[in-house]
Structure 1
Amino acid sequence: MLKDDHSMKDVKARAGEALRRALEKVPVLQIEGIEPEAVSGDWEPDLIARLLVNGQRHLLICEYKSNGQPRYARSALLELRNYIAERAPEATPVFIAPYISPAVRRLCEEKDVSYLDLEGNARIAFGSVFIERMVADKPVAEQRELKSLFRPKSAQVLRVMLREPGRAWRVTELSTISGVSLGHVSNVRTGLINREWARASEDGLVLSEPDALLDAWRDSYTAPPGERLRFYTHLHGSTFEDAARTALRADDAPRRAAFASFSAAQWLSPYGRTGTHYFFADEDGLRKLQAALKLAPATKGENVVITVPKDTGLFADTIEPAPGAVCTSPVQTYLDLTIAGERGAEAADHLRKEKLSWPQ
């Protein structure tokens, strides 16, 4: 239930208006009233809508949550179903929130609970009444929240967790390994738990839905900011490969450069060759690659592309499947392939099946 009296009345009014607008479009239905319930010691719904449908009375029992993430939705659905079972078995439960994601919509349908959000998504079904409306765009606040979960600092935490998705992590461990502050790790933890992509166990934080997390990351992923440089080299075949591996072999930590995108995929899960070689490198790594591969700047006809990313955390998440073959991790390689056009999408799907399949 909502705690603050003033804000409670305000959001109940907004939720009631949204519900009224949805119901008014149904010709067979008359709205007798949509009333907020008084707060008492016991759980009570936030709104009760009293309706006449073809002359028959019907109740909608509604619960509003200011956060529609799965963690909060699940508790609201349980409260609604318990109330209906004990107090109003003929009524229809309705979950209302500012925004209800597709995952939570599916959860509502599984639990046989109708839903409505303030963005305009709705599915209200009872008797002869069926209202369904989908709005294509995520609200700005939801997009912003998701973006923040995948920004470089947060991404460093996610990469660590996805390396060992079955492991339970203490916040302090994640902070130490990822090099990210305790406060930031705690924010990531909250975001993952709210979306039910992770759960808190006695031993720590465990990824419960790594696939759903990776899907969301893929859907909001954009190329890492940085300078994208194009070069031409006359080296090819094993001569190029040997020179690249020599340059990438890092006797001194930290890593300075790595195969990326299609070039990393060739080592991790070969799918199809391209004529262009891809790398991430910092300034030192760039100089080593330029010297080792005899690179000349190219305005067209390039066969080597090196990105100098602003996010140096990418170099902390590399693997070396063969000596000197330093590659971006399977997760990073997968994400980069998904934005590399049609052939990239195919290579990404292949890599995911081979390297990023987790037990359900």
Structure 2
Amino acid sequence: MLELTMTEHPLIPLLVEALRELPDVHADVERRALSGEHPDRGPDAEVDLHVAGKSLTMLVEAKKTVYPRDVRQVIWQIRDASRAWSSSHAGDVVSLIAAESISPGAKELLRSEGVGYYDTGGSLYLPAPGIYLYIDKPPPKALVKSIRTLFSGRRAQVLHALLVQHQAWFGVTELAQLAQVSPATTSQVLTELERFDWLTSKGQGPSKQRKLREPAALLDAWAKQVKLDRAPALRRYYVPATKPDALATRVAEALEGRGVDYAISHEAAAQRLAPFLSSVSQVRLRLLPGQAAESALADLDARTVTEGANLAVIETKSAGELLFRERQEGLWLASPIQIYLDLLRGEGRSKEMAEHFRKERIGF
């Protein structure tokens, strides 16, 4: 571990060691103070950097986490330090932000502004006169876990509500009621979304309202997470003596006859809202499990199979997974957002259908 005089921030030694591991790169922490009469305004470290015979000074600002919302302020701070350094020193200088985790959106913004970064996942970006270093590694585990949590369970219900009503302004209580979660959970989700700079707000305190400013960015992030997650387990059945185009109606009648809440999704739902395939041979739906559901399946003479299924059931963990379903032609269909995300998990041409469906039905 390096002995630091400017700062004891643990990220600085990690950054320096990461640089030293690269071919023909030498890095050392400068031992003198930077910030003069304003020590609280200076960067956290000054690193002497030598890359393939090229020398320059790297000013490092250390942060715990960096999200898009943080980038503007951090860039202002580090560029102010760079100007202060250049006014009293000769030679080239480059700015870099070191953080435990930096969100993908924040990394993109930093690259567009020509500001370097390093995170504990091993990602490194350093643009400088005559030097260009770029290493892209998976995000640190802490950030991955944080993002996965945001797109699962009750928190996902808040995201779902915002996307379905993406043009509306919401207070915390109103949004919590719509998403069927607690105000505390809703407030936590909104705080996270503000970090990603996906919300706009108005008002203060209890009367503060928020609106989704970047619905496409939020849906893109959710789609990316869906592709990484394990697909929910399916119970596969064969319902005899039923033509494909009549299967959805027959299944719906059986479920509704037993009072079972359900929502048809995947291709069978997408085809009704934005036709894409010539035919759909399987119905996939979500339903609340229980004796009533089992009785409805028995009414259909549905037989458990491993191949040749024409009905697939996703058992929901809560009624929240059926939020925002829509009544269409006598059937309960999942919300367009849910249909799109489910299609991304499908096989065959479902991913093509997902993009068609998003363009034609969702629109962002």
Query: Displacement, 1:121?
Result: 0.8
Q: How many correspondences in the alignment?
A: 347
* Secondary structure at 1:67 match in 2: strand
Correspondence for 2:325 = 318
1:76-95 deviations in whole A, cap 9, x for unaligned?
Answer: 11211233235536521111
Separation of aligned partners in 2, 1:118 and 1:238 = 53
Correspondence for 1:22 = 19
With over 3 angstroms needed to count, the CA separation of the structure-2 counterparts of 1:59 and 1:269, relative to structure 1, is same
Gapped runs of 5+ residues in structure 2?
none
With 22-31 and 55-64 compared, the bigger mean Cα shift is at 22-31
Correspondence for 2:93 = 91
Correspondence for 2:30 = 33
Counterpart amino acid of residue 260 in structure 1: S
With over 3 angstroms needed to count, the CA separation of the structure-2 counterparts of 1:76 and 1:292, relative to structure 1, is same
With over 3 angstroms needed to count, the CA separation of the structure-2 counterparts of 1:23 and 1:75, relative to structure 1, is farther
Correspondence for 2:165 = 164
Correspondence for 2:196 = 195
Matches within 5 A, 1:213-232: 213-221=218-226, 222=229, 225=232, 228-232=235-239
| Aligned residue among 336, 342, 350 for 1:344 | 350
Correspondence for 2:282 = 276
* Secondary structure at 1:305 match in 2: strand
Query: Displacement, 1:247?
Result: 4.5
* Secondary structure at 2:275 match in 1: coil
With 272-281 and 14-23 compared, the bigger mean Cα shift is at 14-23
Whether the 8 Å contact between 1:227 and 1:309 is mirrored in structure 2 is no
* Secondary structure at 2:308 match in 1: coil
Whether the 8 Å contact between 1:60 and 1:94 is mirrored in structure 2 is yes
Matches within 5 A, 1:53-72: 58-72=56-70
Whether the 8 Å contact between 2:96 and 2:116 is mirrored in structure 1 is yes
Query: Displacement, 1:122?
Result: 0.8
Correspondence for 2:242 = 235
* Secondary structure at 1:141 match in 2: helix
Query: Displacement, 1:242?
Result: 3.9
With over 3 angstroms needed to count, the CA separation of the structure-2 counterparts of 1:267 and 1:32, relative to structure 1, is closer
Separation of aligned partners in 2, 1:234 and 1:54 = 74
1:176-214 deviations in whole A, cap 9, x for unaligned?
Answer: 111111111111111111122223333512222222211
Counterpart amino acid of residue 243 in structure 2: H
* Secondary structure at 2:309 match in 1: coil
| Aligned residue among 270, 286, 308 for 2:315 | 308
TM-score, normalising length: structure 1: 0.84
With over 3 angstroms needed to count, the CA separation of the structure-2 counterparts of 1:12 and 1:283, relative to structure 1, is closer
Query: Displacement, 1:245?
Result: 4.7
Gapped runs of 5+ residues in structure 1?
1-7
Counterpart amino acid of residue 73 in structure 1: V
1:274-321 deviations in whole A, cap 9, x for unaligned?
Answer: 311111112366357536645333343221112222132122220123
Correspondence for 1:131 = 133
Query: Displacement, 1:238?
Result: 5.1
1:318-350 deviations in whole A, cap 9, x for unaligned?
Answer: 01233x221111111111110112411111111
**1:179 and 2:194 matched:** no
1:138-176 deviations in whole A, cap 9, x for unaligned?
Answer: 322112111110112011111110011122211111111
Correspondence for 2:9 = 12
Query: Displacement, 1:75?
Result: 1.7
Correspondence for 1:4 = none
Query: Displacement, 1:56?
Result: 7.8
**1:102 and 2:100 matched:** no
| Aligned residue among 270, 278, 282 for 1:265 | 270
* Secondary structure at 1:326 match in 2: strand
Correspondence for 2:79 = 81
Counterpart amino acid of residue 334 in structure 2: T
* Secondary structure at 1:58 match in 2: strand
**1:210 and 2:207 matched:** no
Separation of aligned partners in 1, 2:31 and 2:215 = 41
Separation of aligned partners in 2, 1:48 and 1:250 = 72
Separation of aligned partners in 2, 1:30 and 1:238 = 68
With over 3 angstroms needed to count, the CA separation of the structure-2 counterparts of 1:264 and 1:56, relative to structure 1, is closer
Counterpart amino acid of residue 12 in structure 1: H
With 221-230 and 63-72 compared, the bigger mean Cα shift is at 221-230
* Secondary structure at 2:349 match in 1: helix
Query: Displacement, 1:53?
Result: 6.9
With 78-87 and 184-193 compared, the bigger mean Cα shift is at 78-87
Identity of aligned residues (%): 24
Whether the 8 Å contact between 1:243 and 1:292 is mirrored in structure 2 is no
* Secondary structure at 2:102 match in 1: coil
Correspondence for 2:44 = 46
Whether the 8 Å contact between 1:16 and 1:47 is mirrored in structure 2 is no
Separation of aligned partners in 2, 1:102 and 1:34 = 33
Counterpart amino acid of residue 123 in structure 1: Y
Counterpart amino acid of residue 295 in structure 1: A
